Structure 1
Amino acid sequence: MATASGELHHPADPGISKLQFAPFSSALDAGFWHELTQKKLNEYRLDETPKVIKGYYYNGDSLGLPARLTLEFSAFDMHAPIPARCCPALGTLYNTNTLETFKSCDKKSLLEKEANGIWESIKSGAALENPMLLNRFLLLTFAKPASLGERFSSNQIQALQKAYDELCQQEGVTALPYFLIKYQDNSVVVSLLKKWDGFFQDHGGKVTVGVYDPCNLSHYPGWPLRNFLILAAHTWGNILQTVEVLCFRDRTMQGVRDITHSIIFEIKLPETSLGPDCPKAVGWEKNQKGGMGPRMVNLSECMDPKRLAESSVDLNLKLMCWRLVPTLDLENIVSAKCLLLGAGTLGCSVARTLMGWGVRKITFVDNARISYSNPVRQPLYEFEDCLSGGKPKALAAADRLQKIFPGVSSEGYNMSIPMPGHPVNFSEVTMAQAQKDVAKLEELIDAHDVVFLLMDTRESRWLPAVIAASKRKLVINAALGFDTFVVMRHGLKKPKQQEADDSCSSNASGSSDLLGSSLFSNIPGYKLGCYFCNDVVAPGDSTRDRTLDQQCTVSRPGLAMVAGALAVELMVSVLQHPEGGYAVASSSDDRMNEPPTSLGLVPHQIRGFLSRFDNVLPVSLAFDKCTACSAKVLEHYEREGFHFLAKVFNSSHSFLEDLTGLTLLHQETQAAEIWDMSDDETI
């Protein structure tokens, strides 16, 4: 009785020689392992269900090499083309999540499961329609092979090669695993297995089957023949006693195609039925030690460390998606291009947190150099960066990010940002440089999705706030006190074509005091205020006539890290909201309500008080007299460009206050106070 375990006995003819098979040797290249890593991270995640993969075997190797079953990076794509003159082989991938599961896996049960699947395809006839299904099963037979050149004439060999090529072309494949053969003195005809009926009617009962054979051994067929013989025994065993097998070996030697080393022999089929049960299956490949344990492959030297770093960096984010936040839109975060204006304590903290979220594009702008006091508070710098006058902060920060993670695209620009109250009209040179700096800043803001305002002074935030508002860019602002901070998103103006229908609130009461104590609810993003909306004076030179401690931002050491992290988390929450920067602002009153995103609230402002370890979430409306984002300021900037900006830089704060109506507001307020005092005195 023939079984898949290996032997075919014929008690009536003990002289029949024993046929042995050359097993496959697996050939898994580095591309397969890399693609499996990507599939695990991006698709399979924690899924351990079996996956269908596709390999191929080739019989064109040099003599003496083992028959190889090859798996490449394309193994996971069922529609990927197979290399020329290679036969596809379908398989199943069982990928476990833990080493313990791998070790405890019942390999015998898995093999029997696959064997049963092929056995069912044989019984149902599916293997006739798709012979590739046979390459999961095993069978040993008896035969003594002969070379094709010893049996076929040169004309027959040429006819076989031509007929096989034409059948492959007709079926749209590069190679056929099994096919039927009829041959006479000078002709050869081939056909598909499923056309068995009638193909051999006029051939005197002789049946010849071709098997695409990857084996290079002259006396043994390759592994694919084993399971075909199971099919033959089950399907034709009751009408056939023998089957002639041609192991088709198609090789190119020194540029010349040659099939003469193919072997041909006769197989005697079992006289008894195989029965309904699946034959015993074998097939686990032995490792280098000759045992049945796993084969270990060390790819550390052949895989790009940068690619490994990218997969590892994203692992924490993938784990968040798999178990904690399945709806997290990582692509929206990773693809965000972030511009950091300021590479000091806040800038360094923001950059590190952005990298933790997988952001790949980070650009710094700063005009300062690294001083000896910086490295202990600014984690992107070291002591050596302070020597010889100090490296430019923006350039050093960008360089350090790429050393931390080569997958990040980081640039630094050592440039100044022109500011209100800081005149640029001293000479043509300073004016030309200011114009150049403005043009570069406009270019950078236009090329990025999110702008972080992380500078030391209030007035340095004015120009980027105006440009970003005009270009409809999301602005995240962070500012520090000694033990207080504010992190906020600026209101995102509606697209220009929609502004005519819905303008920002013009109610002067929309301004709030410096702590943002006025709270509102259900305020959409386009009606939210910017950093300057709470002020009733225009920005000016905040460092003039001030001592060193007044010019510097003196803060508790942990404050910048807290504020920097919150600035990035606010950006991420905004990007997760379906409306992005136009999302309705969450306030402190919303903390007990259902959060609007999978990551929680999307506040307008976060104001922290480290002495109390407390945060509040105020919301303030845009101020129609704001010196940065009001309609009048944006209108003049968009119409006059640098000419308008130069007037702001070179004038006192009264210029912006006159333009926006703050001066008139002050006058009206003073008049009201005088009137109130007169009433009091009368009373």
Structure 2
Amino acid sequence: MTVVQFTPFSSLVQPAFWHELTRLKIDVLKLSEESLPITASYSVGRSITDRETGQEVALGCNLTISDDSFNDTKTLQRLPANSVRVNGTFKNFNTIEEFKEADKSALFNQTADEIWNGIKATGDISLLNRFLLITFADLKKYRYYYWFAFPAFVAKPAWSIDDAGWKSAEEHIGRDALSGIHTQLQSSPSAYFLARPRSSEDKTDSHNYEIAPISSLDSFFANTPAEQQIIGFVDPSPLPQNPGWPLRNLLTFLRIRKSTLNPIRVLCWRDVDIPASGKPWKSRFGIVQASVSEAEGDVRPAAVGWEKNPQGKMAPRMADLAPMMDPSRLADQAVDLNLKLMRWRILPALDLEKVAATRCLLLGAGTLGCYVARTLMGWGVRTITFVDSARVSFSNPVRQPLFEFNDCLNGGKPKAECAAESLKRIFPGVNATGISMSIPMPGHPVPPSSVEQVKKDVEELEKLFDQHDAIFLLMDSRESRWLPTVLGAAKGKIVMNAALGFDTYLVMRHGARGKPGDSSASATAEGGRLGCYYCNDIVAPADSLTDRTLDQMCTVTRPGLASIASSTAVELLVSLLQHPDGVNARAPPPNAGDDPLGETSPYRSVLGLVPHQLRGFLAQFRTMPIVGAAYDRCTGCSETMLRAYETQGFDMMLKAFNEPGYLESLTGLDKLHDEGEAALENVDWEDDDEGEGF
């Protein structure tokens, strides 16, 4: 007699499993080390024929896990033909030290106890193939350390087989019998089954063998001679003389539940689509028995089953996905890692998907535009569009981080396109576009020959506003912000404004358009409309670029100011996106109290306050929040202005570009001036008698 040698399981982990583990770790598990249920599968043993030598090459005795392994319903639905589902326990550790120092014996024995208790108490066959998987996921390097255990009980005495070993099942029970078993397994798959010849009176099936589940052991074999009783199992081993690992616990089960069943006639089921191919059946048959026939006691026998690593040592394995993955996909997952860690460690309510889906239009690709784009990418924004009409000059690269020296050569590359290309080099996953276009401005007359081109530019700008969710005004002149302000207010877009002085800056969000009947004089803290960039002006924007000296033409600021203002503008946008009211979020007034960040505060998002304006003073290293109400005579966002745009369209714009005083007349600012002059003339100025004679 020869001791039966079993082929151990080898784990086969599909790369998609590690991607799913990454998602699960960041979005669900976080710092939890709770054990989770997991499923896997194995199929019948396979071998292939070497085309050159004609020899059979055995494939692995594999247990496979995939991205569906954490969802048992999907695994069950997508289980391949001739495959068996296996339940297991998954445990992930937070650090490599915890993974190394874990009490692996305790974890292993816990799984082995579950199998043993199932055998002793319930006879549940589904517990026989339980497995354990422990992991540590190094998400920064895309390295995954893991160790599988497939607990199997050590039989004492060991199971033996005669010197003939495992024989061809086709030769022993016949081709028709195997064909009948195959048909029945296809319609009712099972990891373990019973088989017996049909009685001579049974004419219900042309095949001469029938199968039943293991749970029918006593009744199914009641009138069947011992030499015709067959215990079958789906065998993942392809080796002719070595049955697969699942047989070990099955034999233990049979010894405990049916101690008189000795010897045991075992059918190792390995065949796939054999009837259609006409090839010989590969299933194996053998008669095994224990050298001493005795039932196991109540004490669980020892168990083995930790998987060896590729070097044959009892140690974990490591999957390094970085060399296998598309670098773009690696970057796509890595850039969001900081954000997801932020969410699960500090701000569980942070809606990163909303931020990533926000399409941002940057009007201006200069110092502000470059820094805003970089910070937007840091927040996971995937769609960024630049609009600018300038070219990269030699003074730009040191202050504008999306440009390099070579971009300045040969007259300089167009700034918008160059900035977009630079973003794609930094992160290929960003949808960056650059559009070279001038924005028409009040006070800058349009020659008759250019009217059609300007009209096309306005139409394209309108389309860009329709295609984006948030608009950043990052230009270097006051009047260039007028048209975007009007479009943003009319279309209900989020408009973020950033402007620089020498050592001061302004960052603000424009207020949303009020509903009919709203009073712009209402206190902003009580729900009134917030103002725009022009709401504090009593003059319309005019030409501020012509006849300027060099220091006036260039933006002269402290070098660190632009990055501070740009980052502040992006952070304000993200806070606004997290507010339940979005663009209509109320701004905290100066008298909001000592705790404007209370849980019930209407001024609060998950990231904190959502102010209206922030004015920074770098000389004092101070930032001051300001709230400004909308002005009913504003040349940018007043209802009069917006209705004129909506009814007259480009004709109104052309008047604003060409006619000085048009915007004042349209909005009533000219009457305000007249009223002011009249008020000054009516003042009764008193003469100072003490000044006479001097």
- The two structures have a TM-score, normalised by structure 1, of 0.89
- Cα distance in 2 between the residues matched to 1:196 and 1:681: 122
- Cα distance in 1 between the residues matched to 2:124 and 2:194: 14
| Structure 1 residue 392: Cα displacement | 0.6
Which deviates more, 60-69 or 300-309?
60-69
- Cα distance in 2 between the residues matched to 1:445 and 1:330: 23
1:451 to 446, 466, 471: 471
> Could you say which residue in structure 1 is the equivalent of 2:533?
531
- Cα distance in 1 between the residues matched to 2:620 and 2:659: 41
Matches within 5 A, 1:535-546: 535-546=537-548
Which deviates more, 267-276 or 459-468?
267-276
What amino acid maps onto 1:403 in structure 2? Answer: R
> Could you say which residue in structure 2 is the equivalent of 1:198?
219
Secondary structure class of the residue paired with 2:583: helix
Secondary structure class of the residue paired with 1:585: coil
> Could you say which residue in structure 1 is the equivalent of 2:39?
54
> Could you say which residue in structure 1 is the equivalent of 2:496?
476
> Could you say which residue in structure 2 is the equivalent of 1:8?
none
| Structure 1 residue 621: Cα displacement | 0.5
2:550 pairs with 1:522: no
> Could you say which residue in structure 1 is the equivalent of 2:668?
661
Secondary structure class of the residue paired with 1:677: coil
> Could you say which residue in structure 1 is the equivalent of 2:649?
641
> Could you say which residue in structure 2 is the equivalent of 1:579?
581
2:19 pairs with 1:34: yes
2:183 pairs with 1:162: yes
Bigger strand share: 2
- Cα distance in 2 between the residues matched to 1:549 and 1:254: 89
Which deviates more, 250-259 or 350-359?
250-259
- Cα distance in 1 between the residues matched to 2:550 and 2:418: 25
- Cα distance in 2 between the residues matched to 1:214 and 1:312: 38
2:684 to 661, 677, 683: 677
Matches within 5 A, 1:218-237: 218-237=240-259
> Could you say which residue in structure 2 is the equivalent of 1:516?
none
The 3 A distance-change label for structure 1 pair 254 and 397 is farther
Secondary structure class of the residue paired with 2:448: coil
| Structure 1 residue 422: Cα displacement | 1.2
| Structure 1 residue 604: Cα displacement | 0.2
1:567 to 569, 576, 579: 569
What amino acid maps onto 2:558 in structure 1? Answer: R
Matches within 5 A, 1:132-211: 133=130, 136-139=151-154, 141-143=159-161, 144-168=165-189, 176-184=190-198, 187-205=208-226, 207-211=229-233
| Structure 1 residue 35: Cα displacement | 2.3
The 3 A distance-change label for structure 1 pair 612 and 569 is same
| Structure 1 residue 387: Cα displacement | 0.4
1:192-230 residue CA offsets vs partner (Å, 9 max, x unmatched): 222334222221355322100011111111001111122
Whether contact under 8 Å (2:362, 2:387) holds in the other structure is yes
Gap runs ≥5 in structure 2: 48-56, 132-149, 201-206, 598-603, 690-694
Whether contact under 8 Å (1:249, 1:259) holds in the other structure is no
| Structure 1 residue 568: Cα displacement | 0.4
| Structure 1 residue 133: Cα displacement | 4.9
Equivalenced residue count is 638
- Cα distance in 1 between the residues matched to 2:544 and 2:276: 81
The 3 A distance-change label for structure 1 pair 357 and 200 is same
Which deviates more, 302-311 or 571-580?
302-311
- Cα distance in 2 between the residues matched to 1:189 and 1:433: 84
The 3 A distance-change label for structure 1 pair 392 and 97 is same
1:73 to 67, 81, 85: 67
1:471-511 residue CA offsets vs partner (Å, 9 max, x unmatched): 100111000111111100000125xxxx23x4241x4xx8x
> Could you say which residue in structure 1 is the equivalent of 2:97?
100
- Cα distance in 2 between the residues matched to 1:680 and 1:38: 81
The 3 A distance-change label for structure 1 pair 207 and 288 is same
| Structure 1 residue 61: Cα displacement | 2.1
Which deviates more, 594-603 or 380-389?
594-603
| Structure 1 residue 279: Cα displacement | 2.2
> Could you say which residue in structure 1 is the equivalent of 2:391?
369
The 3 A distance-change label for structure 1 pair 587 and 382 is farther
1:399-446 residue CA offsets vs partner (Å, 9 max, x unmatched): 00110011111111011111111112331xx11111111111111111
Whether contact under 8 Å (1:309, 1:405) holds in the other structure is yes
Secondary structure class of the residue paired with 2:219: coil
Whether contact under 8 Å (1:247, 1:264) holds in the other structure is yes
- Cα distance in 2 between the residues matched to 1:255 and 1:640: 77
> Could you say which residue in structure 2 is the equivalent of 1:464?
484
- Cα distance in 2 between the residues matched to 1:254 and 1:300: 43
Whether contact under 8 Å (1:251, 1:258) holds in the other structure is no
- Cα distance in 1 between the residues matched to 2:276 and 2:81: 15
> Could you say which residue in structure 2 is the equivalent of 1:417?
439
The 3 A distance-change label for structure 1 pair 231 and 679 is farther
The 3 A distance-change label for structure 1 pair 611 and 210 is same
2:461 to 422, 441, 461: 441
| Structure 1 residue 290: Cα displacement | 1.7
The 3 A distance-change label for structure 1 pair 91 and 680 is farther
1:449-474 residue CA offsets vs partner (Å, 9 max, x unmatched): 11000000111101111111111001
Whether contact under 8 Å (1:250, 1:257) holds in the other structure is no
2:412 pairs with 1:390: yes
- Cα distance in 2 between the residues matched to 1:157 and 1:461: 82
- The two structures have a TM-score, normalised by structure 2, of 0.88
| Structure 1 residue 30: Cα displacement | 2.0
| Structure 1 residue 162: Cα displacement | 1.9
| Structure 1 residue 590: Cα displacement | 4.5
The 3 A distance-change label for structure 1 pair 577 and 334 is same
The 3 A distance-change label for structure 1 pair 257 and 504 is farther
2:266 pairs with 1:245: yes
- Cα distance in 2 between the residues matched to 1:467 and 1:602: 23
What amino acid maps onto 1:620 in structure 2? Answer: G
Whether contact under 8 Å (1:91, 1:136) holds in the other structure is no
- Cα distance in 2 between the residues matched to 1:492 and 1:323: 33
What amino acid maps onto 2:308 in structure 1? Answer: K
Matches within 5 A, 1:107-126: 107-125=104-122
Secondary structure class of the residue paired with 2:195: strand
Whether contact under 8 Å (1:129, 1:193) holds in the other structure is no
Secondary structure class of the residue paired with 2:109: helix
| Structure 1 residue 259: Cα displacement | 6.8
1:285 to 285, 288, 307: 307
Secondary structure class of the residue paired with 1:676: coil
The 3 A distance-change label for structure 1 pair 154 and 492 is same
Whether contact under 8 Å (2:308, 2:314) holds in the other structure is yes
1:255-313 residue CA offsets vs partner (Å, 9 max, x unmatched): 82757221112233564332333322211111122211112333332211111112211
| Structure 1 residue 360: Cα displacement | 0.9
What amino acid maps onto 1:162 in structure 2? Answer: T
| Structure 1 residue 355: Cα displacement | 0.8
Indicate the percent of aligned positions where both proteins have the same amino acid.
46
2:403 pairs with 1:403: no
- Cα distance in 1 between the residues matched to 2:608 and 2:128: 54
Whether contact under 8 Å (2:470, 2:493) holds in the other structure is yes
> Could you say which residue in structure 1 is the equivalent of 2:144?
none
Whether contact under 8 Å (2:111, 2:130) holds in the other structure is no
What amino acid maps onto 1:151 in structure 2? Answer: H
Whether contact under 8 Å (1:60, 1:252) holds in the other structure is no
Whether contact under 8 Å (1:250, 1:258) holds in the other structure is no
Gap runs ≥5 in structure 1: 1-15, 169-175, 511-519
- Cα distance in 1 between the residues matched to 2:115 and 2:222: 28
- Cα distance in 2 between the residues matched to 1:167 and 1:358: 49
- Cα distance in 2 between the residues matched to 1:275 and 1:680: 120
Which deviates more, 127-136 or 101-110?
127-136
Secondary structure class of the residue paired with 1:419: coil
